[in-house]
Chains A and B, each alone.
Chain A
């Protein structure tokens, strides 16, 4: 098992009352799954994804990731854990505008303290695999949205993560670009065995996955 959420609660205090963002979430994810999280705005999709990605904390419950109890870990170890095993893809790509495509890809490796020669090899590999060698010296603003997201995915993959978390990865893309990205996810899932959890609004995109989780008001339905 890759990860397990047990009775996760998350709330904020508003006017003396608890407003629940996540309510009693139980979730088990096996390696190699492709899960889509769906639900209306404000249902807690992104919050759940962030909790899984360890970017956000929760108030109650247990979270085991590769049999480590995340809820007891200190920030530094948590950070080590997710930088090792998790890659993130965002709706608005979140590429660093000041870095070229190549440098954006290299960055996660820098934080993993990988040697220069090895970094070069991995980046070249990834550029090759995504067919963006010709764009390696361009800055993100010089690319189309689809191409930027392609780089985003490549960056998420470069650290060879076990899990990719994608928060509406196609939200800013047109339908053709969307299809390409989703096809890419499917291929990664099937051929490389990468576990993927995506948040999406689109039924069509959700169907690429092997399992759909529906949320409403922070509760799994």
Chain B
């Protein structure tokens, strides 16, 4: 019996080649893409789940009440962590962790490594797998470091480096450390990644900050003792916070901040470590949203839904051709259950073929996929029993529903009517509903695609207020003094007519090839209230190099010897200081007993941070006591590639041991919206796939409808209907469905996209044309898909169609 089913199923699939191919292609594409998307989503969700203590690890953050509302900070002062452990019960382990680049030398070679300055407890809290050394204590003492296998390979040429001594540049001098632990490569799904772990108290600024409570520069992680809950602990820190932040709180109170509901001006909070990747503090409150992975899962689900809807529709449509078979089988004694089994088995076969092909396809696509979507996800993430189990159950459910529904309809048919070829379904409710839902999905996806691409274009083309096309930024990752490096670069490039200016600062614009992003904020009292500003230490010619527009006053200049006590501010800072009338007369005392700094110039606002943020106050200093970390070189707009090479060779002369990581600023800016680009790519591909699949389905439906109405068409033509009127008659029904889908889909898309765009300070307006465009596109696609078929049917000779009866 089973063999017979398979045989019949196989022959049936071969007989309806077009439909079988459409189904298999559709399902294969859908499953393959869904598989890849699910993989990405699960990978995202698996972030930081590998830590054995994940349930009790938290990152400390502070909710501060400021005059401008609530504000979250995740950085802490150096004495904070030891004090917290000492004074508040419930902390099992606590560790400070400061991420920085460190210049590590072994023999004659220097390497710029990602360093994590951490307390010893760090490795008791987190479970980074070790390859060699004590797994609980890979960093044995104050004079030892732990490095990853990759770093060991870089440094020593082998993964075994235990006991070897490396030199790390701390501040301006090198300090020797013994390698006491080798870590396996940091898992891809870890939010923290580093090459070398260095004892926290070796950091160059440690000693001077050991009792300083008002400079914050590192996150703190802690593990609670068993039985202590997050909210209990948060409550028990109120006293502690009051004690150590008294001054700050009084200032806040004085400046008009409102306390939170518990009457506090600052409250310590614990962010579960597994939420870290999904946490967002932009709005001043902690917001943990797993939007991205769930959006991807959603798209995967939608794609599968579209393909399955096609499958259901086509199978019902094809059922019509098999009425005779159904009737005959019933006459020969088949009962409902047997027929259901048979048809379901056929569906299952198609699904199994599609799944097998999808697995192959997904494997073939995985590398381009990973590059395109910029993910480290692998199938290995999927190979847990729970995921595999739910995957299999999911597939079974999907086949049961999609294969089962048409099977149920067909097996329920009355024997005689089936034999006579009478189709009793009559109403096309389910079919129409499925088509509408498909097009709702397609329209939402198309709209999202248009808006996402619009936003990316907007961000890319936005005038950021500085010259991003002609400026190269170079991370200063060598051993030499940064001012000297810039001076040397200037000298090297002097003769080159295409090099227009060279300068430097302690922060990058956008995200460079070194991958680091940072910002420093300074708070000080001005005219009886606390003001905050981002700070930037720059070299001479900074404004000239970046084409920043000076509104008033002047930039730093070698002609004025007192410029180290001068500051240049942007318009936002002018507003922050409330000195709109005469900013150039502003004098600032950072400490009560310090000297005064004078504002000497005002720069027009430019986007010195991520474009998603609004422009914050910014103050420039020229202070040789602070290192510079980036050099900027402006080149002429001609022969830019040549100029870039010239910069590179100059760099290699100046810093022969350090890698050249220079890049144009527009590349850096592009890198800052990698996330948006990835999302846009995923949504674009999702919508293209959705459209293709919907079209396959619509095309199949038009075949069916035309077949069902062949006789009607013939009669109408004999009576005198024109080809065009029949085409309209046939196409109208489908367009109606697209219209309904548009009406349903537009509000959904509008709501979701409006929410999404809210995250951006600078955003493309949500114009009605995005929606109209998507609607028109969907209509056009539907028209083309259906039209070809209906026109052919309408043009056919009526005698032929009438003869079939």
Q: How far is the CB of A89 from chain B (nearest CB, A)?
A: 10
B203 close to chain A: CB less than 8 A? no
A98 close to chain B: CB less than 8 A? yes
The docked-state distance in angstroms from the alpha carbon of A58 to that of B13 is 38
Instruction: Tell me if A111 and B324 are in contact (CB < 8 A).
Output: no
Q: A88 to chain B: which residues have CB within 8 Å?
A: 331-332
Instruction: Tell me if A56 and B416 are in contact (CB < 8 A).
Output: yes
Q: A103 to chain B: which residues have CB within 8 Å?
A: 4, 7
Instruction: Tell me if B329 and A94 are in contact (CB < 8 A).
Output: no
Q: How far is the CB of B327 from chain A (nearest CB, A)?
A: 7
A80 close to chain B: CB less than 8 A? yes
Partner of A111, one of B336, B338, B416, B419: B338
Instruction: Tell me if A110 and B4 are in contact (CB < 8 A).
Output: yes
Q: A95 to chain B: which residues have CB within 8 Å?
A: 328
A20 close to chain B: CB less than 8 A? no
Instruction: Tell me if A111 and B333 are in contact (CB < 8 A).
Output: yes
Contact code string B1-45 (vs A, CB < 8 Å = 1, else 0): 100100110011001000000000000000000000000000000
Which residues A86-116 have CB closer than 8 A to chain B?
Answer: 88, 90, 94-96, 98-99, 103, 106-108, 110-113
B325 close to chain A: CB less than 8 A? yes
Q: How far is the CB of A59 from chain B (nearest CB, A)?
A: 15
Instruction: Tell me if A98 and B333 are in contact (CB < 8 A).
Output: no
Which residues B412-433 have CB closer than 8 A to chain A?
Answer: 415-416, 419
Q: A83 to chain B: which residues have CB within 8 Å?
A: 332-333
Partner of A107, one of B4, B15, B324, B419: B4
Q: B4 to chain A: which residues have CB within 8 Å?
A: 103, 106-107, 110
Q: B328 to chain A: which residues have CB within 8 Å?
A: 94-96
Q: How far is the CB of B124 from chain A (nearest CB, A)?
A: 67
Q: How far is the CB of A62 from chain B (nearest CB, A)?
A: 21
A4 close to chain B: CB less than 8 A? no
The docked-state distance in angstroms from the alpha carbon of A50 to that of B331 is 10
Instruction: Tell me if B333 and A80 are in contact (CB < 8 A).
Output: yes
The winner among A56, A79, A90, A106 for most chain B CB atoms within 10 A is A79
The docked-state distance in angstroms from the alpha carbon of A196 to that of B1 is 29
In the complex formed, the residue of A with least CB distance to B11 is: A98
B335 close to chain A: CB less than 8 A? yes
Instruction: Tell me if B331 and A55 are in contact (CB < 8 A).
Output: yes
Q: How far is the CB of B345 from chain A (nearest CB, A)?
A: 14
Instruction: Tell me if B416 and A108 are in contact (CB < 8 A).
Output: no
Instruction: Tell me if A112 and B416 are in contact (CB < 8 A).
Output: no
A65 close to chain B: CB less than 8 A? no
Instruction: Tell me if B325 and A96 are in contact (CB < 8 A).
Output: yes
B334 close to chain A: CB less than 8 A? yes
The docked-state distance in angstroms from the alpha carbon of A125 to that of B501 is 100
The docked-state distance in angstroms from the alpha carbon of A75 to that of B415 is 11
The docked-state distance in angstroms from the alpha carbon of A108 to that of B4 is 12
Q: A113 to chain B: which residues have CB within 8 Å?
A: 1
Could you tell me the dominant secondary structure of chain B's interface residues? helix
A208 close to chain B: CB less than 8 A? no
A11 close to chain B: CB less than 8 A? no
A76 close to chain B: CB less than 8 A? yes
Instruction: Tell me if B416 and A50 are in contact (CB < 8 A).
Output: yes
Partner of B327, one of A53, A94, A155: A94
Q: B331 to chain A: which residues have CB within 8 Å?
A: 53, 55, 88, 94
Which residues A184-220 have CB closer than 8 A to chain B?
Answer: none
Q: B419 to chain A: which residues have CB within 8 Å?
A: 55, 90, 94
Q: How far is the CB of A43 from chain B (nearest CB, A)?
A: 17
In the complex formed, the residue of B with least CB distance to A158 is: B332
The docked-state distance in angstroms from the alpha carbon of A155 to that of B15 is 24
Whether A82 contacts B416 in the complex (CB less than 8 A), given A96-B328, A107-B4, comes out as: no
The winner among B1, B7, B11, B333 for most chain A CB atoms within 10 A is B333
In the complex formed, the residue of A with least CB distance to B325 is: A96
Instruction: Tell me if B11 and A110 are in contact (CB < 8 A).
Output: no
- Chain B contact residue count (CB 8 A cutoff): 23
The docked-state distance in angstroms from the alpha carbon of A55 to that of B15 is 29
Which residues B693-721 have CB closer than 8 A to chain A?
Answer: none
In the complex formed, the residue of A with least CB distance to B1 is: A110
In the complex formed, the residue of B with least CB distance to A88 is: B331
In the complex formed, the residue of A with least CB distance to B5 is: A110
Whether A111 contacts B332 in the complex (CB less than 8 A), given A94-B324, A99-B8, A103-B4, comes out as: yes
Q: How far is the CB of A57 from chain B (nearest CB, A)?
A: 10
Q: B335 to chain A: which residues have CB within 8 Å?
A: 75-76, 79
Contact code string B332-368 (vs A, CB < 8 Å = 1, else 0): 1111101000000000000000000000000000000
In the complex formed, the residue of A with least CB distance to B2 is: A110
Instruction: Tell me if B333 and A82 are in contact (CB < 8 A).
Output: yes
Q: B416 to chain A: which residues have CB within 8 Å?
A: 50, 55-56
In the complex formed, the residue of B with least CB distance to A92 is: B324
Instruction: Tell me if B8 and A98 are in contact (CB < 8 A).
Output: yes
Q: B338 to chain A: which residues have CB within 8 Å?
A: 111
The docked-state distance in angstroms from the alpha carbon of A113 to that of B7 is 17
Which residues A30-53 have CB closer than 8 A to chain B?
Answer: 50, 53
The docked-state distance in angstroms from the alpha carbon of A155 to that of B11 is 21
Q: A50 to chain B: which residues have CB within 8 Å?
A: 416
Q: How far is the CB of A152 from chain B (nearest CB, A)?
A: 10
The docked-state distance in angstroms from the alpha carbon of A95 to that of B330 is 13
Q: B7 to chain A: which residues have CB within 8 Å?
A: 99, 103
Whether A98 contacts B1 in the complex (CB less than 8 A), given A76-B335, A103-B7, comes out as: no
The docked-state distance in angstroms from the alpha carbon of A112 to that of B332 is 9
Instruction: Tell me if B15 and A79 are in contact (CB < 8 A).
Output: no
The docked-state distance in angstroms from the alpha carbon of A155 to that of B329 is 12
Contact code string A110-135 (vs B, CB < 8 Å = 1, else 0): 11110000000000000000000000
Contact code string B708-743 (vs A, CB < 8 Å = 1, else 0): 000000000000000000000000000000000000
Q: A94 to chain B: which residues have CB within 8 Å?
A: 324, 327-328, 331, 419
Q: How far is the CB of B384 from chain A (nearest CB, A)?
A: 42
Q: B332 to chain A: which residues have CB within 8 Å?
A: 83, 88, 107-108, 111, 155
Q: A53 to chain B: which residues have CB within 8 Å?
A: 331
Q: B8 to chain A: which residues have CB within 8 Å?
A: 96, 98-99
Q: How far is the CB of A109 from chain B (nearest CB, A)?
A: 9
Q: How far is the CB of B334 from chain A (nearest CB, A)?
A: 5
The docked-state distance in angstroms from the alpha carbon of A81 to that of B732 is 49
Q: B415 to chain A: which residues have CB within 8 Å?
A: 55
The docked-state distance in angstroms from the alpha carbon of A70 to that of B537 is 99
In the complex formed, the residue of A with least CB distance to B337 is: A76
Q: A112 to chain B: which residues have CB within 8 Å?
A: 333
The docked-state distance in angstroms from the alpha carbon of A94 to that of B15 is 18
Q: B329 to chain A: which residues have CB within 8 Å?
A: 96, 107, 111
In the complex formed, the residue of B with least CB distance to A116 is: B3
The docked-state distance in angstroms from the alpha carbon of A80 to that of B1 is 17
Q: How far is the CB of A137 from chain B (nearest CB, A)?
A: 13
Contact code string B234-252 (vs A, CB < 8 Å = 1, else 0): 0000000000000000000
In the complex formed, the residue of B with least CB distance to A80 is: B333
Partner of B12, one of A55, A98, A111: A98
Q: How far is the CB of A197 from chain B (nearest CB, A)?
A: 15
Q: How far is the CB of A138 from chain B (nearest CB, A)?
A: 14
Instruction: Tell me if B11 and A111 are in contact (CB < 8 A).
Output: no
The docked-state distance in angstroms from the alpha carbon of A88 to that of B416 is 13
The docked-state distance in angstroms from the alpha carbon of A75 to that of B332 is 14
The docked-state distance in angstroms from the alpha carbon of A96 to that of B11 is 11
Instruction: Tell me if B324 and A98 are in contact (CB < 8 A).
Output: no
Which residues A58-88 have CB closer than 8 A to chain B?
Answer: 75-76, 79-80, 82-84, 88
10 tightest CB-CB pairs across the interface, nearest first? A83-B333, A111-B333, A98-B11, A108-B332, A94-B328, A110-B1, A55-B415, A88-B331, A79-B335, A55-B416
> 16 A-B Cβ contacts within 8 A?
A76-B335, A79-B333, A79-B334, A83-B333, A90-B419, A94-B324, A94-B327, A94-B419, A96-B8, A98-B8, A99-B11, A103-B4, A106-B4, A110-B1, A110-B4, A111-B338
Q: What is the interface of chain B, defined by CB distance below 8 A to chain A?
A: 1, 4, 7-8, 11-12, 15, 324-325, 327-336, 338, 415-416, 419
Known: A55-B331, A96-B8, A107-B4. 9 other contacts (CB 8 A): A56-B416, A76-B335, A79-B335, A84-B333, A90-B419, A94-B419, A98-B12, A103-B7, A111-B332
